[in-house]
Amino acid sequence: MMTTTTAMMTVMLSTAIMMLTTLISKKNNEDREKSSPFECGFDPKNSARLPFSSRFFLIAVIFMIFDVEIALLLPMPITMEASNMKSWMTVSLLFLLILIIGLYHEWNQGSLEWSK
């Protein structure tokens, strides 16, 4: 009962504080100067919204995923000495198999080809 009361009081207090700060804040969302890009005090020549290549973003995400996977692969030889050889080999091969299947799937889907 005490935990429920404390949780309810916490939620009510945080909601009240958020509502109070929303009412008190002086932020004006429709300010033209703050919403436009800054170019040394001059009006911008072009739009700040440039088209973005989704292919580049996909390659960057794939790179980040494989970068994290490399970080997981590097300590594998060190952990070999501290663990059972059979379980270490099973986990390592399973991890590498998942990586290879993922790489094959991305290659097969054409995600690794830059130009089409």
Note whether residue 84 is domain-resident: yes
Note whether residue 87 is domain-resident: yes
Note whether residue 72 is domain-resident: yes
Note whether residue 86 is domain-resident: yes
Which residues lie closer than 8 Å to 28 by C-beta, 6 or more apart?
none
pTM score, whole prediction: 0.48
Note whether residue 24 is domain-resident: no
pLDDT for position 94: 93
Query: Domain span at residue 97?
Result: 50-115
Distance CA 13, CA 38 (A): 39
Note whether residue 36 is domain-resident: no
Identify whether the C-beta of residue 55 lies closer than 8 Å to the C-beta of residue 106.
no
Residue 112 has pLDDT above 80, yes or no: no
Give the model confidence (pLDDT) of 69-103 as tens digits: 888 888 888 888 888 889 889 988 998 899 889 88
Domain count, the chain: 1
Give the model confidence (pLDDT) of 14-58 as tens digits: 999 999 988 887 666 666 666 666 656 666 666 666 677 777 888
